[in-house]
């Protein structure tokens, strides 16, 4: 994804990150890949690569899923849920 000059302010970056986290946490890997790309796909289908790589990292940290949460400030983050 190319970020435009008018998207580098704090509000725009928070909106982009909230969109990305929402797609990731909800499991919409194809939409995430189509919107933001995935440089580490290495020839694999990008949505499948994101899903597979996420699962590897979750297992590495002993977790089973990502869960979205909204902070009081209005920004979004992803929270690891322990198995």
Query: Tens of pLDDT along 21-61?
Result: 888 888 899 999 999 999 999 999 999 999 999 989 888 87
Q: Which residue has the tokens 């694999």?
A: 44
Cut 0.85: pTM above it: no
Name the residue among 67, 54, 55 with its Cα closest to residue 21: 67
> In this structure, what are the phi and psi dihedrals at residue 3, rounded to the nearest 5 degrees?
-90, 125
């Amino acid at each position: 994804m190319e970020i435009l000059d008018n998207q580098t302010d704090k509000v725009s970056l928070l909106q982009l990150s909230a969109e990305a986290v929402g797609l990731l946490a909800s499991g919409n890997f194809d939409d995430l890949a189509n919107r933001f790309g995935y440089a580490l796909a290495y020839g694999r289908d990008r949505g499948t690569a994101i899903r597979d790589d996420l699962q590897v990292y979750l297992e590495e940290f002993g977790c089973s899923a990502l869960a979205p949460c909204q902070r009081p400030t209005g920004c979004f983050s992803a929270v690891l849920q322990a198995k």
